[in-house]
Structure 1
């Protein structure tokens, strides 16, 4: 996001609405935030151009895609030099199982959100991504039993 983007109360209200449903028509958004349709469209265009709105996406249920298993993984690296971090990041970006990944502070270096078909698929993933990488010191896996708050629960 570009620095210095000023957000007023209308922008904040508009962002709240499009996070719930980014396909709501401008007329409905305008009604909800107290602006005209054209003002809503101008603001959305400005927020996209400024990098405030990063993407307009569809959140698809992982089970429909054959990946009902959701895992969160904490990954610790041996070393964190720029080249090593970039290499690990590239590796993660190349894996379709990785839905999201964050470089973090604390006990782990990365937090990953994975969707996989099975524990067997996760074992193969761990071998290829973690165990075969000499810079991965270790990883901890958290298995999600069910989602209690998420995009489907916000409407």
Structure 2
């Protein structure tokens, strides 16, 4: 029986990388079609995908939705500076931001800011209410700066493999 222990990312071979590129474009591509594209059998593709899922290389399979089509047409980038960088403050902020459904991405960063957040909201009135709850009235937050996205020039979830 073959081990399903994953290879470290630096040990992915060309076929693994080709499979990942195909799945990032369309994860509904059949294993047979993937196999034809990378010169493997469908069962070999299935084993490789299962191995990469077990290793956490493939984190999950999702549907990418156009935010505007579901009423979330405003993207906001927020730079947040916490009151300090002590572990309890950072942990509490992480928890708060992780639990807010409007927060699409949250990054703990170096530099003047503590966090960079990407938010989706229906309109600016909704953002005003949200910004009060998450930032202005939050004792963890020293300051925040809001950038409203005018045109999402490039948005991708694909990783160059």
Do structure 1's residue 92 and structure 2's residue 97 form an aligned pair? Answer: yes
2:52/2:58 contact within 8 Å kept: yes
Structure 2: state its 5+ residue gaps: 1-5
Equivalent residue in structure 2 for 1:4, among 5, 8, 20:
8
Extract structure 1 runs of 4+ deviating beyond 6 A. none
Q: Distance in 1 between matches of 2:122 and 2:25?
A: 28
Query: Structure 2 length normalisation: TM-score?
Result: 0.86
CA distance in 1, matches of 2:8, 2:90: 29
Deviation track 1:62-119 (CA, whole Å, cap 9, x = no partner) reads 1222110011111111212222111111111221111111111123211111100111
Q: Deviations over 1:118-142 (max 9, x none)?
A: 1111111110010111221211222
Q: Does 1:40 align with 2:45?
A: yes
Say if 2:82 and 2:89, in contact at 8 Å, map to a contact too. no
Count of residue pairs brought into register by the alignment: 152
CA distance in 2, matches of 1:138, 1:124: 16
Map 1:15-34; keep pairs closer than 5 Å. 15-34=20-39
After superposition, the CA RMSD in angstroms is: 2.0
- Counterpart among 85, 94, 106 of residue 101 in structure 1: 106
